[in-house]
Structure 1
């Protein structure tokens, strides 16, 4: 991606904007009244680079201004100004999202929180970290590791995505099968509301049930209820290094049989991931990883226990009983990390197949994972498309990835139709339209189908209570 330089003189850039009452110039003047000039961007070439996240088929508008706050007071000033002028505000993290939740609307303030990136506290006794929203997931993970602690949520984009974005979309990751998702680690939040007031939710204690759980309400709200400016996150003791096993299968159904055997047997892997043949080939083409392309499904299982070799041996036996053609345990941590790197590259590799992807995020009960994968194969054949599947198999969370040429209108149409058919299949199998990527713009229609009219009415009532003017991330969710 090419670098876009900020304007040399932001005041000169702002001076060209219409200053009619209520116009964009008046908005910029109000923002600059209390914010440093360097944090208010108005050059159209610059603001355009903040218009959208990484999702396909999601419309994005042109922001009036981009603000890069560094303090809570900066955020409060933006929200007070937006409320007074009735201007929409779109909060953003690193824009690695896959549902359009961070996409701008015409004339909005894009509030990019990436400059609020301090780790404020790491407390080994209370086992909490206190962070600002712009802290990158991997940065936090490494910081707490130095204290013998562990922050488990690890999305595939962990080297880029921010904690604020993870909270906004309730992100998951590769280790969710054992350690759970972001929502389980967010203990408390400081949130700037639509009118600029600051509210604290939750706690930093090990227990607490005072009042409604507003903290959980904000997790996954996609910036539609308030702006998270600080988070108290729960930590765990750092586990031993994990070892990974790779098992090859002649069919996706056999791999899913192995997954069911592993979970039914009471095993608790720290990771249980699946890559189909299309994904394996794409990763090899991109990074020359040397993965076995003769397999139809590659299952990765990991344990971070005190005796991971014994656990891997037990799981390997279950894989063989399910029909694995080969089972190869990693010999050491370095070999294990290489296998995990291959899995983390999956979505990037699939994008390189045709240049554009639509990444689905359908989660089904583990017991129906095989039916989901077989259904995806039928959809791919029906629409004549390449659809690679990688999955957090231990959670039943699949990421069918439709590869297509965006310059081909017919192929683009088929990609969108196949995407919708896969989501419909997920609901038919008792699943959900999103396990961790969120609703955003991409799945608004499908949210309504999943939760029904009464559920939708209640969701809108919650939104109205927190954002009566509807200025926070409008057009998302519903």
Structure 2
């Protein structure tokens, strides 16, 4: 792990002195219950859900309750020469919120106010700790809809979604977080607070710093508020179509055919046999056994057009070799058909530590990439489950290693790197929505190239010259 900090390592005594001074400063600036230093809390907040990424024990955990708390922590850290790692709900899968050496983990989970909902102008302002689904339900009361829906939408925060530019199931048609962020309030590395962006439907004043901060993983500033645009809730009629296939390749062929047809589904997902069996063993949903892959899709056009699109998608699945196709238009039945996709990741976690990929390839390359993943699994003797936002080429191969099996873990890491390489050979990118964090640094370097990495370093230097904010993440230093 590398980051722009002074090259001289302080002695143990110096480190202890700094540690004590920092903790004392935090306790002087905040209430005692906001500063956690016990071993259990430090361990709980030391890393996100990317268990395979490296992490350190933080000096302290701070539970910020307002913007003033964030400012106080950042200013203290900058003055003390230590680092701040911002954290939302800790649902990240790339190590972006993992603690680094000499760091304070700054949790924004208590900043949960929905500041404003403007139904006429169709925007909302939410503090960073607001849960994605909480915002979605709140704006629905005004007849509005916030589309980005990562699989963790019931537990992940808006601030974390913005920091990683989270995607989700419906992003194939409606886009990712960046497409909905109008503005941000950000605490910079020196503790100054700035407002970026706008509230109007259009605006091109200055560089698009809002878009720059979205997806920057807390390395350029700490997001405390997010202003998001909203869509009308009315005018959508969801229909679900789920195909069962005898092979992952056949499901991939169906994805390619649907993409080539001109129909833009509201969702198009893949769940393979390993996921199906894990979910059913856990939740007993009555999922079909004996099939290799399920392909859940949604269309949401209204009336006859929606019915035609649903029929066309079902027909394309049959043409690609589907063993069976199930359709539903009732809202509860649609949710039931997609529940297995929502539960796939937690179900797999029950089988052992999971190393999560997040590659994205051109839609037409989905069948070939799925085939290559199967080859990698065989050659490295590892179990790889596949879930995917297949409609936009974003694949999530999940490499499972038995608890305590170091040899399997080593093979899994080799398989992980090989999949990244195969993705790039097909014209893909190493992360579609989870962020670079720590796990994807080597792949990011290969994808970006040295000149573009240098551009990233220049931006980091301009906004955070001392390396206070989440050093060593998001791009290779």
TM-score range, shorter chain: over 0.9
Following TM superposition, by how much is the alpha carbon of 1:42 offset from its aligned partner in structure 2, in angstroms?
Answer: 1.8
Q: 50-59 or 29-38, which moves further after superposition?
A: 29-38
* 2:404 counterpart of 1:422: no
* 2:140 counterpart of 1:145: yes
Deviations 1:431-469 (A, max 9, x none): 001000111111111110110000100001111111000
**SS state of the match for residue 29, structure 2?**
coil
What TM-score do the two structures reach when normalised by structure 2? 0.94
Deviations 1:52-72 (A, max 9, x none): 011132111111111111111
Q: Aligned runs of 1:331-410 on 2, under 5 Å? A: 331-353=329-351, 355-410=352-407
Q: 1:209 aligns with which of 204, 209, 216?
A: 204
Paired residues of 2:84 and 2:106 also in contact (CA < 8 A): yes
The separation in 2 between residues aligned to 1:54 and 1:20, in whole angstroms, is 28
Aligned to 2:9: none
Unaligned runs of 5+ in 2: 1-12
**SS state of the match for residue 444, structure 2?**
helix
Q: Aligned runs of 1:31-70 on 2, under 5 Å? A: 31-70=26-65
**SS state of the match for residue 399, structure 2?**
strand
Following TM superposition, by how much is the alpha carbon of 1:158 offset from its aligned partner in structure 2, in angstroms?
Answer: 0.8
What TM-score do the two structures reach when normalised by structure 1? 0.94
The separation in 2 between residues aligned to 1:163 and 1:350, in whole angstroms, is 25
Aligned to 1:299: 295
Paired residues of 1:277 and 1:296 also in contact (CA < 8 A): yes
Aligned to 2:454: 457
Aligned to 2:279: 283
The separation in 2 between residues aligned to 1:464 and 1:66, in whole angstroms, is 26
Paired residues of 2:237 and 2:302 also in contact (CA < 8 A): no
**SS state of the match for residue 206, structure 1?**
coil
Deviations 1:243-280 (A, max 9, x none): 21111122222222222222222212111111112221
Shift in CA distance, 280/125, structure 1 to aligned 2, threshold 3 Å: same
Following TM superposition, by how much is the alpha carbon of 1:22 offset from its aligned partner in structure 2, in angstroms?
Answer: 5.3
**SS state of the match for residue 189, structure 1?**
strand
The separation in 1 between residues aligned to 2:327 and 2:97, in whole angstroms, is 40
Deviations 1:344-379 (A, max 9, x none): 0111112222x1110100100000000000001101
Aligned to 1:323: 321
Aligned to 1:5: none
The separation in 1 between residues aligned to 2:347 and 2:39, in whole angstroms, is 32
> Which aligned runs of 4 or more in structure 1 are off by greater than 3 angstroms?
18-22
Following TM superposition, by how much is the alpha carbon of 1:32 offset from its aligned partner in structure 2, in angstroms?
Answer: 2.7
Aligned to 2:90: 95
* 2:261 counterpart of 1:265: yes
The separation in 1 between residues aligned to 2:97 and 2:458, in whole angstroms, is 22
Paired residues of 2:183 and 2:195 also in contact (CA < 8 A): yes
* 2:221 counterpart of 1:226: yes
Aligned to 2:7: none
**SS state of the match for residue 294, structure 1?**
coil
The separation in 2 between residues aligned to 1:68 and 1:22, in whole angstroms, is 23
The separation in 1 between residues aligned to 2:201 and 2:34, in whole angstroms, is 38
Following TM superposition, by how much is the alpha carbon of 1:20 offset from its aligned partner in structure 2, in angstroms?
Answer: 9.1
Unaligned runs of 5+ in 1: 1-17
Deviations 1:29-82 (A, max 9, x none): 222333222211122222221100111321111111111111111111111111
Deviations 1:288-328 (A, max 9, x none): 12222222221111122212333211211121122222111
Shift in CA distance, 57/20, structure 1 to aligned 2, threshold 3 Å: closer
Following TM superposition, by how much is the alpha carbon of 1:331 offset from its aligned partner in structure 2, in angstroms?
Answer: 4.8
**SS state of the match for residue 449, structure 2?**
helix
Q: 102-111 or 170-179, which moves further after superposition?
A: 102-111
Q: Aligned runs of 1:233-272 on 2, under 5 Å? A: 233-239=228-234, 240-272=236-268
The separation in 1 between residues aligned to 2:445 and 2:149, in whole angstroms, is 29
Q: 2:409 aligns with which of 391, 407, 412?
A: 412
**SS state of the match for residue 23, structure 1?**
helix
Aligned to 1:15: none
The separation in 1 between residues aligned to 2:140 and 2:45, in whole angstroms, is 32
Number of aligned residue pairs: give it.
460
**SS state of the match for residue 305, structure 1?**
coil
Q: 1:114 aligns with which of 101, 109, 113?
A: 109
